[in-house]
Amino acid sequence: MKIFGVFGDPIEHSLSPAMQNAAFRALGMDACYHPFRVSRERLEDAILGAAAMGFGGLNLTIPLKEKALEIVQPDDLAQAIGAVNTVSFGISSGSEIRGHNTDGFGALLALEGAGVKIRGRGSRVLLIGAGGAARAIAYTLEREGAEISIANRSLQRAEELAGSIGGLGYPLYDLEKLVKESEVIINATSVGMKKGDPRLFPGDLLQSSHAVFDIVYNRETELLKDARAAGALALDGVMMLVYQGAKALEIWTGQKAPADVMEKAVREGLKKRAEKEKKARAAGKTGEDGEMRGAREG
């Protein structure tokens, strides 16, 4: 049996094991995928150990994605993004331990799957956020020819990211103007993960011509509610999670991933998690923070 895994800290709420094990079953592969709690300090030991034990591949999540660059051989995209979310062990390249980043690819496929055209010059994209996920999306969409404006709470981070892809960076108070000028609006901040999070901009700025993609996937955000109310296309982060996992599986195995099976497993996992948290809240065992745990993988 081939072993795969996801390393992170915390890791117990990850949806990746359910998603990848469902895919392996559907493909008839003798394989299994486990979550492993690994600290930043032990990441090198853990990756080398997995390589030595013949693991088929790994995913990495918070807080390990940036640290991994010092340990594995990153491909061009992972190097440019500055983060690794997928590790492969030399199937086609000898004994190398290679690092990839499939988050941006997941976002691109999710957008395309919803009918949003990014390929080819001229798509005016407003990307809100300049953290790890935003970087992956920015580099991937820029390679597809999108014209990208980046707005972020920390202006310096927005400007640095925009500068590295030939776009422009803005503070959040420019959002009103930017929303009006854009066709595709992507929220890649963590705002919206928690019930009661504020809106990034007033909902009435949205029009039916907008495509709004919020990469948060653990709940329906105010942004998506506003988009629906405006008659705009509203897309949550579930398919991004599915496609980044599907791409990882393809890198490890060379097989086409069953994205429909993986999506079903993620949606079932989210439903179970929501029911569990509802019960825990009713029993007074957790607050709103309970909703957030484990919702930052990808």
Mind telling me the catalytic residues? Answer: 65
Ranked by CB distance to ligand NAP, the top (closest) residue is 131
Beta carbon nearer to ligand NAP, 89 or 185: 185
Of 277-296, binders to ligand NAP (CB under 6 A) are 295-296
CB of 258 to ligand NAP, least distance (A): 18
Token pair for 142: 């820029």
For 70, half-sphere exposure in the C-beta direction (CA atoms, 13 angstrom radius) is 9
Beta carbon nearer to ligand NAP, 193 or 265: 193
Q: Which of 81, 185, 240, 270 is the binder for ligand NAP (CB under 6 A)?
A: 240
> 276-284, long-range: CB within 8 Å, 24+ apart, which pairs?
none
Q: Which of 103, 226, 263, 291 is the binder for ligand NAP (CB under 6 A)?
A: 103
Beta carbon nearer to ligand NAP, 68 or 89: 68
Of 114-173, binders to ligand NAP (CB under 6 A) are 129-134, 152-154, 157
Contacts of 198 (CB under 8 A, 6+ apart): 191
**Where do the H-state alpha helices sit in the chain?**
16-27, 43-52, 76-81, 103-113, 132-143, 155-165, 175-181, 222-229, 238-253, 259-282, 289-292
DSSP class of residue 199 equals P
Q: Is 216 in the site for ligand NAP (CB under 6 A)?
A: yes
Token pair for 56: 């088929």
Give dist(CA 153, CA 157) in Å, integer: 8
3-class secondary structure, 152? strand
Using CB under 6 A as the binding criterion, the count of chain residues that bind ligand NAP stands at 27
CB 6 within 8 A of CB 102: no
- Bridge partner list, 149: 126, 168
What separation, in Å, do the N-terminal and C-terminal C-alpha atoms of the chain show? 25
Beta carbon nearer to ligand NAP, 93 or 154: 154
Residue 238 — φ and ψ, nearest 5°? Answer: -60, -45
- Bridge partner list, 171: 152
Beta carbon nearer to ligand NAP, 230 or 240: 240
CB of 181 to ligand NAP, least distance (A): 20
Greatest extent of the chain over all pairs of C-alpha atoms, in Å: 55
Per-residue contact flags (x/-) with ligand NAP for residues 9 to 48, judged by CB under 6 A: ----------------------------------------
CB of 154 to ligand NAP, least distance (A): 3
Q: Which of 35, 99, 104, 106 is the binder for ligand NAP (CB under 6 A)?
A: 106
Q: Is 273 in the site for ligand NAP (CB under 6 A)?
A: no
Beta carbon nearer to ligand NAP, 2 or 153: 153
Q: Is 186 in the site for ligand NAP (CB under 6 A)?
A: no
- Bridge partner list, 169: 150
Of 56-95, binders to ligand NAP (CB under 6 A) are none
Residues that bind ligand NAP (CB under 6 A): 103, 106, 129-134, 152-154, 157, 188-191, 193, 215-217, 237, 240-241, 244, 295-296, 298
